[in-house]
Amino acid sequence: KISGDYYAFLKDNQDLRKTEERKVIINDLKLLAQIQNRGIDAFITKDQKMIPKMITPLKENKNLNFEYLDLTIPLKDKLGLLF
């Protein structure tokens, strides 16, 4: 249900549709919906394209509420000395 809601919201985003295949979009949205459903508090990936095309619009409009950790930024820089 949540992934369908996310897809319905993003399906007309031409920038997203131009750069990604439909299968990729659907699979990414299923993953984001599972994270949201299970109450997972963070998502780690190197896919920087996902931030402006999926993560930001869904956070602003669909209450996506987990932290996105970009692996291109060293974890010690993002989270502190522990890493």
Residue-wise pLDDT tens digits, 29-83: 899 999 999 999 999 888 888 888 889 999 999 989 998 888 898 888 888 876 5
Alpha-carbon torsion, ordered 16, 22, 25, 29, to 10 deg: 130
* Residue 5 · residue 32 · CB < 8 Å: no
- pLDDT of 77 reads 87
* Residue 22 · residue 79 · CB < 8 Å: no
Among 69, 62, 57, CA closest to 15: 57
